[in-house]
Chains A and B, each alone.
Chain A
Amino acid sequence: MALELVGSAPEQNDDLPLSIRGLTVSYGEKPAVFSVDVGFQPGQMTAIVGPNGAGKSTLLKAALGIVTPLSGQVRCHGRPLAEMRARIAYVPQRASVDWDFPARVLDVVLMGLYRDLGLLGRIRGQHRARAMECLARVGMDGFAARQIGQLSGGQQQRVFLARALAQGADLYLLDEPFAGVDAATEKAIITVLKDLKAEGATVVAVHHDLATVPDYFDRVFLINTTAIAEGPVADVFTPENLQTAYGGRLALAQMGGVAAG
Chain B
Amino acid sequence: MGADFVMLSLTPLLIGIAAAVACALPGNFLLLRRQALIGDAISHVVLPGIVVAFLLTGVVAALPMMLGAGAAALVAVVLIEVIRRLGRIEPGAAMGVVFTAMFAGGVLLLEQSATSGVHLDVQHALYGNLESLIWLDGYGWAALLDPDALRALPPELPRMAAVMLGVVIFTGVMWRALVISTFDEGFARSMGLPVQALSLSLIVVAAIAAVAAFDAVGSIIVIAMFICPPAAARMMTNRMGAQVAWSVGFAVLSAVSGYVLAGYGPLWLGYDSAVSAAGMIATVSGVILGLAALAGPCRTGGDAQASGAFS
Interface residues in chain A, defined as those with a beta carbon under 8 Å from any beta carbon in chain B: 27, 61, 64-66, 82, 85, 88, 90, 92, 96-104, 107-108, 111, 114-115, 117-120, 147, 149-155, 163, 167, 173, 182, 184-185
Contacts and interface: CB of A to CB of B under 8 A. Distances in A.
Main secondary structure, interface of B, reads helix
Contacts of B187: 90, 92, 111, 163
25 contacts: A65-B189, A66-B186, A85-B190, A90-B186, A92-B184, A92-B186, A97-B183, A102-B238, A102-B242, A102-B243, A102-B298, A111-B180, A114-B176, A114-B193, A115-B192, A119-B177, A147-B304, A149-B305, A150-B304, A151-B308, A152-B308, A152-B309, A152-B310, A153-B309, A155-B311
A107 B302 CA distance: 18
Contacts of B44: none
Interface of B: 32, 88, 173-177, 179-180, 182-184, 186-187, 189-193, 234, 237-240, 242-243, 298, 301-302, 304-305, 308-311
Contacts of A114: 176-177, 180, 191, 193
A159 to B, nearest CB: 11
Which 7 A/B pairs are nearest by Cβ-Cβ distance? Answer: A147-B238, A90-B190, A149-B301, A152-B309, A64-B190, A150-B304, A66-B189
A103 B240 contact: yes
Given A114-B176, A115-B191, 9 more contacts: A27-B88, A92-B190, A96-B186, A97-B184, A102-B32, A108-B183, A147-B304, A150-B304, A184-B311
Contact of B301 (A92, A147, A182): A147
Given A102-B238, A111-B187, A114-B176, A150 B311 contact: no
- B173, B237, B242, B302: which has the most chain A beta carbons within 10 Å? B302
A250 to B, nearest CB: 29
B234 A152 contact: no
A147 B298 contact: yes
B302 A100 contact: yes
B249 to A, nearest CB: 15
Given A92-B184, A96-B184, A104-B239, A150 B190 contact: no
Given A85-B191, A152-B311, A119 B184 contact: no
A101 to B, nearest CB: 5
Contacts of B298: 102, 147
A102 B182 CA distance: 11
B308 A101 contact: no
Nearest to B183: A101
Chain B CB within 10 Å — which of A27, A88, A102, A151 has the most?
A102
A65 B190 contact: yes
Contacts of A85: 190-192
A149 B304 contact: yes
A151 B189 contact: no
B184 A111 contact: yes
Given A150-B301, A152-B305, A155-B308, A66 B190 contact: yes
A102 B189 contact: no
B114 to A, nearest CB: 47
A107 B309 contact: no
A79 to B, nearest CB: 14
